[in-house]
């Protein structure tokens, strides 16, 4: 594939080698292992002298096609695909950190990531410091002689805080640290952390990359030397992506550019349509004026992505009523779907936390997260407006 072609074109055209049937769409390689002509070719494959496939825990043509497309989109040297986003994040930590190492982690990261960092890393003697987004002095103060990696997410889920990637890239280079960025919310079409100096990029492919709520998947991309370590760790510990899911995700990448553009347009239009509603205290969207990091978002993101948040003046009770009143939008625990989704963290995902704990992680009582789908914007807006009326009753 000519590297002169735009990454969007390459994500449509990269394809595993055609079989003797000359198929147009890539076939599904549902096979656990691969065969060898003789003992010596098998020996050479195991010795790493050839790149023949051996076993689908290590590599598979469908998985390799997905990785190749993602590398081009992210501008990354190499990658390894995993069964879920969490497997990618876990693998990026455990392959590279060891007892005695220290990790600096942004305090507003995805819930399960927070659990890995605060509960499991320390069981293995890996220290961490949680640092608020964009508090540059706190990030400087957190650096220790044994610090090895920085981990952050931007925009964050669900608070939509935006972290300055240019700053983070310079900071990591200055202290010689591995910069590891969760790029799930932006996707490589809207933001490329590698261009700002990220060493690793992790994704939950379950969200916008699949984009239709069908399969789980994840991927770690970045510097070849780091991915080599991650490959060996994952090849032995087994979080590999299934060929079927890889096939679905590779096909999804052919439409990611058009989808994420439409998702972003719908999100911006909907956020604007509700921002002055009397039941809405505030609306937050990376590329909507009034976002606290609007200038950073404008600098590093092509479009604002498919998610916006709003705070209902009526708090927890209004949040519950809002979800119950929706007729078109779905109430479900996913995001990044062709169908619009609403969630109310205070009464669902974060309901086990006390109200103080909720506030500490940015979950206000009336916070509603909308993942804007591909429906016509006026239908999405009409449903949200009618549910807002009912939330106040
Ligand atoms: C969903 C999500 C994850 C976890 O991905 P899974 O595919 O569900 O394991 C990680 N980071 C972010 C930002 C997410 O939204």
27 lies in the same domain as 17: yes
Q: Report if residue 1 sits inside a domain.
A: no
Closest-CA residue, ligand 1 atom 8, reads 85
CA angle, residues 87, 90, 93, in degrees to nearest 5: 145
Closest-CA residue, ligand 1 atom 5, reads 85
Q: How many residues does the chain have?
A: 393
Task: Judge whether residue 245 has pLDDT over 80.
Answer: yes
**Integer angstrom CA distances of residue 162 from 132, 319, 337:** 11, 24, 22
CA-CA distance, 205 to 341, in Å (whole number)?
17
179 lies in the same domain as 261: no
280 lies in the same domain as 221: no
Please say which residue of 232, 255, 278 terminates a domain: 255
Task: Judge whether residue 387 has pLDDT over 90.
Answer: yes
pLDDT digits (tens, 9 = 90+) for 177-201: 999 999 999 999 999 999 999 999 9
Q: Is the CB of 204 under 6 A from ligand 1?
A: yes
Beta-bridge partner residues of 312: 280
CA-CA distance, 246 to 82, in Å (whole number)?
9
304 lies in the same domain as 234: no
**Structurally, how many domains does the chain consist of?**
2
Please say which residue of 222, 255, 288 terminates a domain: 255
User: Residue 348's pLDDT is what?
Assistant: 86
Give the mutation target among 81, 83, 85, 106 for probing the ligand 1 site: most ligand atoms within 8 A of CB: 85
Coil, strand or helix at 33:
strand
Q: Report if residue 352 sits inside a domain.
A: yes
Task: Say which CATH number the domain at 378 has.
Answer: 3.90.1150.10
Q: Report if residue 359 sits inside a domain.
A: yes
29 lies in the same domain as 174: yes
DSSP state letter for 27? P
Task: Judge whether residue 374 has pLDDT over 80.
Answer: yes
Count of H-run helices and E-run strands, the chain: 16, 12
Q: Report if residue 167 sits inside a domain.
A: yes
**pLDDT, mean over the chain:** 96
Q: Where are the beta strands (DSSP E) in 210-306?
A: 218-222, 280-284
192 lies in the same domain as 275: no
196 lies in the same domain as 326: no
88 CA distance to ligand 1 middle (Å)? 9
Task: Say which CATH number the domain at 33 has.
Answer: 3.40.640.10
Q: Report if residue 2 sits inside a domain.
A: no
User: Residue 324's pLDDT is what?
Assistant: 96
Boundaries of domain holding 76: 7-255
Across 108-119, average pLDDT: 93
Please say which residue of 196, 223, 255 terminates a domain: 255
pLDDT digits (tens, 9 = 90+) for 47-100: 999 999 999 999 999 999 999 999 999 999 999 999 999 999 999 999 999 999
User: Residue 362's pLDDT is what?
Assistant: 83
Cis peptide before 105 (omega within 30 of 0): no
326 lies in the same domain as 361: yes
User: Residue 352's pLDDT is what?
Assistant: 83
Beta-bridge partner residues of 150: 104, 179
350 lies in the same domain as 386: yes
pLDDT digits (tens, 9 = 90+) for 294-322: 999 999 999 999 999 999 999 999 999 99
- If phi > 0 it is left, if psi is from -120 to 50 it is alpha, else beta; for residue 161 that is beta
362 CA distance to ligand 1 middle (Å)? 18
DSSP string, 56-123: TTT--HHHHHHHHHHHHHHT-SEEEEESSHHHHHHHHHHTT--TT-EEEEESS--HHHHHIIIIIHHH
260 CA distance to ligand 1 middle (Å)? 17
Q: Report if residue 353 sits inside a domain.
A: yes
335 CA distance to ligand 1 middle (Å)? 9
Give the mutation target among 89, 108, 109, 112 for probing the ligand 1 site: most ligand atoms within 8 A of CB: 112
Across 144-158, average pLDDT: 97
197 lies in the same domain as 115: yes
217 lies in the same domain as 320: no
Q: Tokens representing 148?
A: 């090895």
Q: Report if residue 118 sits inside a domain.
A: yes
Residue 15's closest CA among 26, 7, 5, 23? 26
Q: Report if residue 228 sits inside a domain.
A: yes
Q: Is the CB of 246 under 6 A from ligand 1?
A: no
Name 362's Cβ contacts closer than 8 Å, sequence gap at least 6: 108, 156, 158, 159, 161
12 lies in the same domain as 107: yes
Cis peptide before 155 (omega within 30 of 0): yes
On whether the CB atoms of residues 344 and 233 are closer than 8 A, the answer is no
User: Residue 249's pLDDT is what?
Assistant: 98
User: Residue 289's pLDDT is what?
Assistant: 95
> Would the pTM count as exceeding 0.85?
yes
């Amino acid at each position: 594939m000519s590297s002169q072609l735009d990454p969007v074109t390459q994500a449509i055209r990269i394809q595993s080698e055609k079989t003797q049937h000359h198929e147009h769409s890539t076939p599904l390689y549902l096979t656990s292992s691969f065969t060898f002509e003789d003992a010596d070719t098998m020996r050479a494959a195991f010795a790493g002298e050839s790149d023949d496939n051996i076993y689908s825990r290590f590599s598979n043509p469908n998985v390799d096609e997905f990785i190749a497309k993602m590398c081009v989109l992210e501008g990354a040297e190499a990658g390894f695909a995993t069964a879920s986003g969490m497997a990618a994040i876990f693998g990026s930590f455990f392959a590279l950190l060891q007892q005695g190492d220290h990790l600096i982690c942004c305090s507003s990261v995805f819930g399960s990531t927070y659990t890995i960092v605060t509960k499991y890393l320390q069981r293995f003697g890996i220290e961490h410091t949680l640092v608020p987004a964009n508090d540059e002095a706190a990030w400087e103060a957190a650096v220790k002689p044994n610090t090895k990696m920085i981990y952050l997410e931007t925009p964050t889920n669900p608070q939509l805080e935006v972290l300055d990637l240019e700053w983070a890239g310079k900071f990591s280079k200055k202290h010689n640290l591995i910069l590891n960025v969760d790029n799930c919310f932006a996707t490589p079409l809207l933001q490329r952390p590698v261009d700002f100096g990220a060493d690793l990029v992790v994704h939950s492919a379950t969200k916008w990359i699949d984009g239709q709520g069908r399969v789980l998947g994840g991927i770690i991309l970045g510097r070849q030397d780091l991915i080599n370590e991650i490959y060996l760790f994952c090849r032995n510990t087994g979080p590999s992506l299934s060929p079927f899911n890889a096939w679905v995700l590779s096909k999804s990448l052919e439409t990611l550019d058009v989808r994420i553009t439409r998702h972003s347009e719908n999100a911006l239009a909907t956020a604007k349509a509700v921002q002055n509603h009397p039941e809405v205290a505030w609306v937050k969207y990376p590329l909507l004026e009034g976002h606290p990091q609007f200038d950073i978002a404008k600098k590093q993101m092509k479009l604002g992505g498919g998610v916006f948040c709003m705070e209902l003046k009526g708090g927890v009770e209004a949040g519950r009523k809002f979800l119950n009143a929706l007729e078109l939008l779905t109430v479900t625990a996913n995001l990044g779907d062709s169908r619009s989704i609403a969630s109310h963290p205070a009464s669902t995902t974060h309901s086990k936390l006390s109200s103080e704990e909720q506030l500490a992680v940015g979950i206000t009582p009336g916070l509603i997260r909308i993942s804007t789908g591909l429906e016509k914007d006026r239908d999405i807006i009409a449903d949200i407006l009618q549910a807002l009326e009912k939330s106040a009753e």
